[in-house]
């Protein structure tokens, strides 16, 4: 009998260890053509189809069913409660993987509720709301983006490859941050008369369209001397009262993708990216710019993106001070 009892004890211990291991399981990683492999946390948001819990297997239900887990202080006690005061109920936080006991799960200075509603990843400390309040919509998951960008390039009609530059506030901005919007890329220089003429009305043109999902990304090549490669972004922003993303591209690291190989091009120079992130206008030169193309592209519907939102999204936006715009309402709450 003692031998049988010992064998039963060993069997029970073995089963216990297997259950603990299975509860630790993590998700797979992914990558796209434009970026290094994402952190494990990145794949948790938005939820991929195989990561999303079925209604019958919601994480909060699994915890509630386990009497031992329910006794743990860190477990969700009230699924409809908001333990950390970030505006998201505990059940929703369990669904998306954020910490229901920490209002700022990724430690980036923005509460989870704010980031979810503004379409920034609450589990990625590097994906934070822009200081300038640049418009943002729901973005695909890393695995979805990898699929979308598998044939990306720089030619008209292609899904656009990605680039990144630092804006006037010191934030690193990527082209793919504006997926789902119509994007005008405006390339100019401080010495350029037609560029300055275009800048006089640029803010008004932007504001007329931003609520429809539109952004202008302005790249400056030179200061007041042709070829000096030394623009002053702060001076340009101040001169024209611009509240849209402006970048120093004096080295032409990004501009080179929008000009032909002849080595000569006119400015202002424009490119336009459609809502599906395809390059619709490329190497368009001269004032006033391809505004008719922009307006035509704005008539298209944004792509469908699976971005989970809480049931109280509308009231929470109002409570947090968001504006009415779906695309940049968070700007009013910064």
Q: Each residue of 23-82: pLDDT tens digit?
A: 222 333 333 344 433 444 445 556 544 444 344 443 444 444 444 444 444 554 699 999
CATH code of the domain containing 186 = 3.40.30.10
Residue range(s) defining the domain that contains residue 195: 142-298
Same domain? 175 vs 250:
yes
Is 271 found in the same domain as 157?
yes
Which residue pairs, CB below 8 angstroms and at least 24 apart, start in 106-115?
A: 106/41, 111/86, 111/87, 112/84, 112/86, 112/88, 113/86, 113/87, 113/88, 113/310, 113/316, 113/320, 114/86, 114/87, 114/320, 114/330, 114/333
Whether 11 is in a domain gets the answer no
Identify whether 2 is part of a domain.
no
| pLDDT band of 207, cuts 50, 70, 90 | very high
- Domain assignment of residue 325, yes or no: yes
The tally of CA atoms less than 13 A away on the side-chain side of residue 22 is 6
| Torsion angle of C-alpha atoms 315, 96, 126, 50, degrees rounded to 10 | -140
Q: Count the domains in the chain.
A: 2
Q: Do residue 257 and residue 311 come from a single domain?
A: no
Residues 164, 53: one domain? no
**Same-domain check for residues 293 and 311:** no
Is residue 313 located within the same domain as residue 328? yes
pTM of the model: 0.79
Phi, psi of 315, rounded to the nearest 5 degrees:
-70, -35
Per the model's pLDDT, the better-predicted residue between 253 and 12 turns out to be: 253
SS3 170: coil
Query: Are 272 and 161 in the same domain?
Result: yes
Domain shared by 122 and 165, yes or no: no
């Amino acid at each position: 009998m003692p031998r049988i009892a010992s064998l039963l004890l060993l069997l029970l211990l073995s089963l216990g260890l297997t259950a603990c291991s299975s509860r630790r399981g993590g998700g797979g990683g992914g990558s796209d053509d434009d970026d290094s492999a994402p952190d494990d946390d990145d794949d948790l948001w938005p939820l991929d189809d195989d990561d999303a819990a079925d209604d019958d297997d919601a994480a909060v239900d699994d915890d509630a069913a386990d009497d031992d887990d329910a006794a743990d202080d860190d477990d969700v006690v009230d699924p409809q409660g908001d333990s950390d005061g970030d505006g998201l109920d505990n059940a929703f936080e369990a669904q998306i993987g954020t910490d229901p006991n920490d209002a700022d799960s990724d430690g980036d200075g923005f509460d989870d509720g704010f980031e979810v509603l503004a379409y920034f990843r609450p589990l990625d400390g590097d994906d934070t709301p822009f200081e300038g309040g640049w418009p943002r919509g729901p973005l695909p998951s890393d695995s979805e983006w990898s699929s979308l960008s598998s044939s990306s390039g720089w030619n008209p009609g292609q899904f656009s490859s990605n680039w990144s530059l630092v804006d006037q506030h010191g934030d690193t901005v990527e082209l793919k941050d504006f997926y789902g919007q119509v994007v005008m890329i405006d390339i100019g220089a401080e010495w350029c008369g037609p560029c300055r003429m275009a800048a006089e009305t640029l803010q008004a043109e932007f504001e007329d369209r931003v609520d429809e999902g539109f952004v202008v990304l302005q790249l400056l090549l030179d200061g007041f001397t042709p070829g000096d490669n030394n623009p002053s972004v702060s001076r340009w922003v101040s001169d024209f009262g611009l509240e849209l993303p402006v970048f120093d591209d004096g080295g032409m690291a990004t501009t080179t993708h929008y000009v032909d190989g002849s080595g000569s091009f006119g400015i202002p120079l424009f490119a336009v990216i459609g809502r599906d992130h395809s390059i619709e206008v490329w190497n368009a030169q001269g004032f006033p710019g391809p505004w008719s193309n922009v307006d035509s592209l704005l008539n298209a519907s944004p792509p469908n993106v699976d971005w989970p939102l809480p049931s109280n999204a509308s009231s929470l936006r109002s409570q947090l001070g968001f504006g009415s715009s779906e695309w940049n309402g968070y700007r009013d709450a910064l």
